Amino acid sequence: MNNNHSDDQLGRARVKSSPELEAYYKELEGLGAGALWTVANDIEPWEPRSYSVPMLWKYDELRDLALKSAELVTPEQAGRRVVYLVNDNRKAVSAAVGWLYTGIQVTKPGESTSAHRHKASALRFIMEGKGGYTVVDGHKITFEVNDFVITPNSTWHEHGVAEDGETCVWQDGLDIPLVNALEANDYAVYDGKQELKYPVNYSVLNYGNSGFYPTHENWNKPYSPLFKFEWKKIYPALVEAAKVNPINAYDGVKMRYSNPITGGHVMQTMGASMQLLPAGFSGKRHRHTGSFVYQVAKGSGYSIIAGKRFDWKTRDIFCVPSWAWHEHHNASDTEDACLFSFNDLPVIESLGLYQEQAD
Amino acid sequence: MNNNHSDDQLGRARVKSSPELEAYYKELEGLGAGALWTVANDIEPWEPRSYSVPMLWKYDELRDLALKSAELVTPEQAGRRVVYLVNDNRKAVSAAVGWLYTGIQVTKPGESTSAHRHKASALRFIMEGKGGYTVVDGHKITFEVNDFVITPNSTWHEHGVAEDGETCVWQDGLDIPLVNALEANDYAVYDGKQELKYPVNYSVLNYGNSGFYPTHENWNKPYSPLFKFEWKKIYPALVEAAKVNPINAYDGVKMRYSNPITGGHVMQTMGASMQLLPAGFSGKRHRHTGSFVYQVAKGSGYSIIAGKRFDWKTRDIFCVPSWAWHEHHNASDTEDACLFSFNDLPVIESLGLYQEQAD
Amino acid sequence: MNNNHSDDQLGRARVKSSPELEAYYKELEGLGAGALWTVANDIEPWEPRSYSVPMLWKYDELRDLALKSAELVTPEQAGRRVVYLVNDNRKAVSAAVGWLYTGIQVTKPGESTSAHRHKASALRFIMEGKGGYTVVDGHKITFEVNDFVITPNSTWHEHGVAEDGETCVWQDGLDIPLVNALEANDYAVYDGKQELKYPVNYSVLNYGNSGFYPTHENWNKPYSPLFKFEWKKIYPALVEAAKVNPINAYDGVKMRYSNPITGGHVMQTMGASMQLLPAGFSGKRHRHTGSFVYQVAKGSGYSIIAGKRFDWKTRDIFCVPSWAWHEHHNASDTEDACLFSFNDLPVIESLGLYQEQAD
Amino acid sequence: MNNNHSDDQLGRARVKSSPELEAYYKELEGLGAGALWTVANDIEPWEPRSYSVPMLWKYDELRDLALKSAELVTPEQAGRRVVYLVNDNRKAVSAAVGWLYTGIQVTKPGESTSAHRHKASALRFIMEGKGGYTVVDGHKITFEVNDFVITPNSTWHEHGVAEDGETCVWQDGLDIPLVNALEANDYAVYDGKQELKYPVNYSVLNYGNSGFYPTHENWNKPYSPLFKFEWKKIYPALVEAAKVNPINAYDGVKMRYSNPITGGHVMQTMGASMQLLPAGFSGKRHRHTGSFVYQVAKGSGYSIIAGKRFDWKTRDIFCVPSWAWHEHHNASDTEDACLFSFNDLPVIESLGLYQEQAD
């Protein structure tokens, strides 16, 4: 292998045009064909190439607008009352980065949506409010700020906030653009609301204790039987993990939300992590394939992504495109910072497409 | 679940525009955001939706043009001397259907290419000629007409035809469009030709006997250790299988090229099958997710795809887009017909996106 | 299939002896052979047949004797200072039931053993004391009463009690008889004590939070990365699980200690469970293959095993042989009872030998 | 780790007896208990320890006696007309070596047995005759000399020889002793003969072509879907493999009969291999855990097992106990020799108990 990335070498397409060739190309075109060498260097890049740009969405700017949606439309009209975040270069596919969609959903006390399902998978990361819940295939799951909740592929789901709750805001993450691109999405509406088939938070009570699972179930679905990952457990776990593990030069202390009966990703198409940047952490840069959407769960700092600096604080959302160099910095010398992120690593990994590079 | 596919119902976005909303949308746009309900019904279709159209490429029309490439460019200039087939609706991504690329490669006796590798995976289905070979990660593999050969993701590879051979033509299948879309492709050129690290056709000799494998190897790569599937074994196997199995109403007798140590697909991103349509076979229509490129290995007939009839004979290539209704018919009452096809089912299945529907 | 279990039917050996046959048998014997029909009905029983009898060991009776061992021998002399419990019918193989060994180990404050390892796997269930710990392959793990700790196959291990602790008593469970029977056991002594390669309780801090695991490790060993399962988490989990799950008629609420990254058993040859019998629980009888050793972790009650009643209270140990009918009863109408058990189910299941029958 | 295997060192039991201790032991015994240090060194050997001795059964000596069984008893009387081979040290469990049973079954033209099933698994290696067949769960499988056939755990099975065939002799291999030891065996008789649910040799026609499997079946049983491995394919495969692979110093060219959709063993409890010793091959000695029963499929030679020489020729049967040093020699300088063997490696491997040592 050589490291010369010039297209003017053996092994790359280096055909010079000529009238004869142009005529030939025309003839091919008429038959629904083309000469590979006219596009080869373009479709076979030397390195992974992303179509997205890095972006940051400041919650200070978006919050009021998101809340305003609650005055403008009802859930009944909108289906879901969501402000979605779109990458400047991915508007055609409504993606925040790569093939990942993200949005901010607002639900007022007493509101609830009707149920639906789709081949796209979904996840939620809770930003504000009290009394929020989701119902996934008959499982009601209550949630609090910084909890992480999954809604796997083809499960019936609906959301709401208790009458005595407070307006809830959460981030939705979906692979809608990917599933559309793969020409496999579908959609169905439920007649009304789901019946609760399990006690509230059943999945947490049965699968929320590491290595201690029910013998009466034989879970064989391709996603985590644990539907909620609670911040009240996650943050202390992260703090303790930070004490006993080496601090990674790029990522601080990074733990993966995992399927507790496979150790793998929580769903087939999207994964998620929480990482702690210790006080004063100043990360090195690296890059890897896979697209990432971050939400700042705690603290403030900045990231340099593809050479551009993005300052963030709690609740801000930003993205890192595939193969973009990136580094994270905690702005505080006394407080840790926590970054939630979700990604398409299950896709990238299961198809054998992961690679990374340190600077 | 209801089967009403009207967008004018609860659970779909039904917000009517207003000056106030338009102003709101504008404000969102300025922040890299949008209102989900303005795009929801579009990005969440009721059923899988393909961007490709069905097409057939007649070999009678293409053959001369493909062979002509051998007069117009050398492998040294072109990298690979290939005429690629492109879907009318997928020109932007150089795909024949969905995210699959296919092309017709021509190599003359004595010619050979330099080696390269890429994150895209490749496969070949041999159409004409004698003395052709490929070298994959140090394994030299000779091939004959209707043989099926794989070049997995990131393996070094090069091709050639023996001095005393005859001009070889084969179909290439690659997932270049997919790997580009997933922003993970790369490319490297080898300095010269690979050294042969194994005896010729080593993989066939070690893994070509069903259920009788070497004890001295512990194969742990994510693709088949068997790199070539020979027509001289495949066709008789298919004929025998046709005698003992029920004839499937949609597909006749369909066997899958498989990894002999996992039973799964031969590679992580592309699968392949060979199916025999018995004499007189007139298939029913069905549809499923996943994109397919066919080559007629034997016989003649026609397929009706998305309502359009395509007549085919040996060596013709055609495609079936995701979720398109399709049915196959053998034109002969005395001879069987055989259809080779490759697909993106490993992607569709591993991501939980497969579904099918019979008429 | 018929349900007639008489040996006097077609399909069973029914050859009557004769002088000619006796002579024939003699001839065979001289060649290291025999006639199958002379042993077939014996070696092919109609139903699973255990060689063990049910037994109960009362801790009231054993405790003083076990503690007395601490006066009689030192760990240096004894290797391990353990009183082992042996089935009346399995003395030849030192097994408590089936091929499972169990013993009661006593360690005084300030004592510690030297390290060793063996192909047999081990587990501990803590009965008394404070300040106890084990060191497994460089991981120091502290433990408390009713904690469950594993020492997988071929890991270096040693135990001790802190100087300022209290005499610790724990139950050891090992598959020594099985590994000897499979002719695969071995033993090695470590020169002195192991160096600690990880912070104390590292495995609990990294894998003790369900579905939230480190990204910097790629655990690929065939046993649980979580080495300790703490009663302070297990008991509340069981109580909560009892609220949301159906009460099983045979087992009350039974949860399995599991490998948190596979969902399977904690080790390759031994599994373990904790079950809660609600106040007033009166179980039905059933039977299944697999051998079980129980320890009462909490409460009192009785079990009827193979028709014999065994009354138990906290710290008592009893066994259920393979295929023995058994039922469990909580003696209290106000307090729950908890039964810890370990078993050879990983063996039985991985070899396809599990079956169960309800009355 | 030290390599001193003396029991007189720290880490081994070194307690000297005394009247006080003897009294203590007595007290323990009365409670169904004992002091571990009195048995520890015995039950925790330094190295794997087999209970079997190496043995060879000469077919010249056994053949007449085996055939004579056909005159002495009918299949109806005997259940199965089999002469079994028993290890001098394993008579109590009717095992040829370790926990493996083997026998020689004789069936005359026109004879057939009634069907039965058991939790023990079975395999056959054909020694003589024509027209033999077995029926496994409704699959009729015909066989010839040196074919290898499986009868997995709990499948209904029966055997016979066609009216116009010749007396068939085959070797049976079963794990009866193991399944009895694991207290899990059972037995059931079928009312009469099985109905054939599939065309003859269906499994070979569907799964006998490496890497080309039916799409209409979703095989999910824990054993190979290929029930017969034919010598007419196996021997040429072995000869070809010998040309392209390194000759192993211990085993010549050894190939494993494998499940073609997992690459693993053909059944959950027994595996099998065929190895070719090239002309003039003189193997080195090694040892490993696992018990092996060999049958000479072709040629002649000798093996030195645990220091003892055993001369063998085609059809002889011999065994290698766990951890016994062994080496194989081909007596011919012009002809290759082939050794079939079956073993308990699936058990040893799945339980983490495999180890090997070269001299």
Q: Which CATH number do you get for residue B288?
A: 2.60.120.10
Neighbours of D314 (CB within 10 A): 15
- B51 belongs to a structural domain: no
- B217 belongs to a structural domain: no
- Same structural domain, D197 and D242: no
If DSSP codes are grouped into helix, strand and coil, which group holds residue C183?
coil
Mean pLDDT of chain B: 96
Q: What is the pLDDT of residue A14?
A: 92
Which of B206, B211, B229 faces D260 most closely, judged by CB atoms?
Answer: B211
Does B289 reach chain A within 8 Å, measured CB to CB? yes
C-beta separation of C325 from C80 below 8 A? no
**Residue D192: band (very low, low, confident or very high) from pLDDT cuts 50, 70, 90:** confident
- Beta pairing partners, D187: D118
Structural domain including C32 reads: 1-42
* Residues of chain A found within 8 Å of residue B73, distances taken between Cβ atoms: 15, 21, 35, 37
What's the token pair of residue C214? 């480190």
- Same structural domain, B142 and B277: no
- A258 belongs to a structural domain: yes
Which of C199, C213, C226 faces A244 most closely, judged by CB atoms?
Answer: C199
If DSSP codes are grouped into helix, strand and coil, which group holds residue C79?
coil
Helix (H) / strand (E) element for B135: namely strand B122-136
How far is C-alpha C10 from the chain's CA centre? 40
Q: Do D215 and B273 touch (CB under 8 A)?
A: yes
- Same structural domain, A151 and A261: no
Q: What percent of chain A has pLDDT over 90?
A: 93
- Same structural domain, B272 and B201: no
Q: What is the pLDDT of residue D90?
A: 98
Q: Do B44 and A85 touch (CB under 8 A)?
A: no
- D270 belongs to a structural domain: yes
D113-166 per-position pLDDT tens digit: 889 999 999 999 999 999 999 999 999 999 999 999 999 999 999 999 999 999
CA distance D246 to D252: 8
- Same structural domain, C160 and C191: yes
- B176 belongs to a structural domain: yes
Does B256 reach chain D within 8 Å, measured CB to CB? yes
- A/B Cβ contact: 3+ pairs below 8 Å: yes
User: C10: nearest CA in chain D?
Assistant: D76
How far is C-alpha A115 from the chain's CA centre? 22
CA dihedral A247, A252, A253, A258 (to 10 degrees): -140
Torsion sign over Cα D46, D47, D50, D56: negative
CA distances from B175 to B78, B179, B258, B291, C107 (A): 20, 6, 18, 11, 63
- D282 belongs to a structural domain: yes
Phi-psi region of B252 (alpha: psi -120 to 50; beta: other; left: phi over 0): left
Whether the per-residue pLDDT at B326 is higher than 80: the answer is yes
Burial (Cβ within 10 Å: 0-12, 13-18, ≥19) of residue A358: exposed
C-beta separation of B229 from B257 below 8 A? yes
Q: What is the pLDDT of residue A234?
A: 98
C-beta separation of A256 from C241 below 8 A? no
Residue type, B94: S
Does A187 reach chain B within 8 Å, measured CB to CB? yes
CA distance D213 to D131: 28
A236-260 per-position pLDDT tens digit: 999 999 999 999 999 999 999 999 9
How large is the average pLDDT for residues A146-159? 97
Q: What is the pLDDT of residue D1?
A: 56
Whether the per-residue pLDDT at B316 is higher than 70: the answer is yes
- Same structural domain, A241 and A138: no
Burial (Cβ within 10 Å: 0-12, 13-18, ≥19) of residue C72: middle
- Same structural domain, D123 and D202: yes
Q: What is the pLDDT of residue C118?
A: 97
Instruction: Among D200, D212, D235, D256, pick the best mutation site for testing chain B contact (most B Cβ within 10 A).
Output: D212
Q: What is the pLDDT of residue B108?
A: 97
Does D154 reach chain C within 8 Å, measured CB to CB? yes
- Beta pairing partners, B107: B168
- B79 belongs to a structural domain: yes
If DSSP codes are grouped into helix, strand and coil, which group holds residue D352?
coil
CA distances from B57 to B36, B126, B271, D165 (A): 41, 16, 21, 55
b vs e for D199-226, b when ≥16 Cβ sit within 10 Å of the residue's Cβ? eebbbbbbbbbbbbbbeeeebeeebbbb
- Same structural domain, D191 and D322: no
Neighbours of D78 (CB within 10 A): 22
Q: Which chains neighbour A (Cβ–Cβ under 8 Å, 3 or more pairs)? A: B, C
CA distances from D321 to A122, B80, D55, D293, D337 (A): 56, 58, 9, 9, 22
Whether the per-residue pLDDT at D241 is higher than 70: the answer is yes
Q: What is the pLDDT of residue B2?
A: 62
Q: Which of A172, A207, A242 is the last residue in one of the domains?
A: A207
For chain A, what is the domain count?
2
Q: What is the pLDDT of residue B313?
A: 98
Nearest to C301 by CA among C291, C287, C311, C309: C311
Q: Do D214 and B241 touch (CB under 8 A)?
A: yes
Whether the per-residue pLDDT at D94 is higher than 60: the answer is yes
Q: Which of B173, B207, B241 is the last residue in one of the domains?
A: B207
Nearest to B269 by CA among B224, B228, B321: B224
- Same structural domain, D188 and D265: no
Q: Do C10 and D350 touch (CB under 8 A)?
A: no
Instruction: Among B212, B239, B245, pick the best mutation site for testing chain D contact (most D Cβ within 10 A).
Output: B212
CA distance A237 to A239: 5
Whether the per-residue pLDDT at A1 is higher than 80: the answer is no
B132-156 per-position pLDDT tens digit: 999 999 999 999 999 999 999 999 9
Q: What is the pLDDT of residue C60?
A: 97
C-beta separation of D328 from D308 below 8 A? no
B164-200 per-position pLDDT tens digit: 999 999 999 999 999 999 999 999 999 888 999 999 9
CA distance A265 to chain C (A): 9
Q: Do D209 and B259 touch (CB under 8 A)?
A: no
- Same structural domain, B193 and B328: no
How large is the average pLDDT for residues B204-213? 97
What's the token pair of residue A93? 């596919």
Does C350 reach chain D within 8 Å, measured CB to CB? yes
Phi, psi at D273, each rounded to 5°: -140, 160
Beta-strand (E) ranges in C186-241? 187-189, 212-214, 228-229
Q: Which of D207, D240, D265 is the last residue in one of the domains?
A: D207
Phi-psi region of C347 (alpha: psi -120 to 50; beta: other; left: phi over 0): alpha
CA distance A108 to A126: 14
CA distance C102 to C341: 11
C-beta separation of D293 from D319 below 8 A? yes
CA distance B30 to A86: 11
Interface of B with D in 328-347 (CB under 8 A): none
DSSP letter for B225, please: S
CA distance B163 to B132: 10
Mean pLDDT of chain A: 96
Beta-strand (E) ranges in A204-268? 212-214, 228-229, 253-257
D36-62 per-position pLDDT tens digit: 999 999 999 999 999 999 999 999 999
- Same structural domain, C100 and C146: yes
Q: Which chains neighbour D (Cβ–Cβ under 8 Å, 3 or more pairs)? A: B, C
What's the token pair of residue D318? 């011999």
Q: What is the pLDDT of residue B1?
A: 56
What's the token pair of residue A236? 């202390």
Alpha helices in A182-326 (DSSP H): 202-207, 231-244
- C322 belongs to a structural domain: yes
- pLDDT per residue, tens digit, chain C (359 aa), is 567 889 988 889 999 999 999 999 999 999 999 999 999 999 999 999 999 999 999 999 999 999 999 999 998 888 889 999 999 999 999 999 999 999 999 999 999 988 999 999 999 999 999 999 999 999 999 999 999 999 999 999 999 999 999 999 999 999 999 999 999 999 999 988 899 999 999 999 999 999 999 998 889 999 999 999 999 999 999 999 999 999 999 999 999 999 999 999 999 999 999 999 999 999 999 999 999 999 999 999 999 999 999 999 999 999 999 999 999 999 999 999 999 999 999 999 999 999 999 98
Q: Look at the block and give the residue holding tokens 């597909």.
A: B251
- Same structural domain, A166 and A240: no
